[in-house]
Structure formats: structure tokens, C-alpha cells
Amino acid sequence: MINPKTTATPAGERELLIEREFAAPRELVFKAWTERDRLMQWWGPPTWPIDYCTVDLRVGGAWHYRMRGPAGEEGWGKGVYREIMPSSRLVYSDYFSDEDGTEIPPEAIAEIDFVDRGGTTLVRNKTTFASGEHREQVLGMGVVEGMSETMDRLDEHLAAVAAG
């Protein structure tokens, strides 16, 4: 039985480490994070799911999506891939963007390691913010809540895939 809890730990000067173990092989967790049809099923907090998504999985390529809020609002997000090691590591620049994909700075860098734990997968998600002040601001604004809820959705997605 895996503890489903997501842990969040501030690290270094301007980093935030978020960890969660998933009951699925890392190949599958990596696919969930990088394939458009899978991302559509879980990315975004439950109150802000995505309803549009494109993925161009190559270094310099981008992942562009629209989130839909509880009052019907739109929020566009974009991740520009910096490093892709299939099934083991993914690094991207994380931004808000507009509909056309124009990035709205500042960026945050997400480094995600998919660690094989003998059938289960530990996801170590390190986000580096523009500054320590920026990290504190984002923590105060509820980033851990949003990430935890999103990780819960990934957990449910992986369970649904396993159940076939």
C-alpha cells in the first residue's frame, strides 16, 4: 500500500520539491506526463481541468493547454521542453501564456524525475522559481494545494489505466 500523500518541501534558495509515489511503472507515468490524450485526462487541479491541449514533445517544442475555471474562466499554460529522457526525466520551462502561445514571464523551471521503485514510481518534481521571494509568494498563494490535487488526479488516472 502506497501512502498517497504528496509531500512539498522548500529546498535551496528558490526551489520547491514535490514528491509522490504512484502505483504504476515509470514508463506509464512518463507517458501520462507527455502524451496529449493522457494529459487531457488528468492535468490541472479538479476545479481547473484542461479542455484543450497540444503536445510537441521535443527539446524546444512545447506543451500548450487551456485550463477552465469554476466560473467558466480560461487560463492558458505552456511548458517548453528543455530536456527529455524517455521514462526517466523531463525538464520544462513553465509559464502562463496566452491563446497564441506567447509566454507570460516569469518562468519557473520544472525538473521531473521518474524513479523506478520496483514496479511503483517515485515522482520527484523540483520547481525552481525566479527568486526566493517568488517562491514564498507562490507558496502563500496555495501552490501546494493545487499540485496535490493535480497529483491526486494523476493517481486516479493511473488506477483507471491499470484497471483497463
Residues of this chain that interact with other proteins (CB under 8 A) are: 44-48, 67, 69-77, 94-96, 104-108, 129-130, 134, 138, 140-143, 145-147, 149-150
Residue in the block written with cell 502505483: 23
Distance CA 147, CA 149 (A): 5
Question: Residue 131: exposed, middle, or buried by beta-carbon count in 10 A (0-12, 13-18, 19+)?
Answer: exposed
Query: Which of 25, 76 has the CB closer to other proteins?
Result: 76
Q: How far apart are CA 53 and CA 87, in angstroms?
A: 21
- Bridge partners (DSSP) listed for residue 22: 121
Q: How far is the CB of 76 from other proteins (least distance, A)?
A: 8
Shortest reach from residue 106's CB to other proteins, in Å: 5
Which is nearer to other proteins, 18 or 24 (by Cβ)?
18
CB closer to other proteins out of 5 and 117: 5
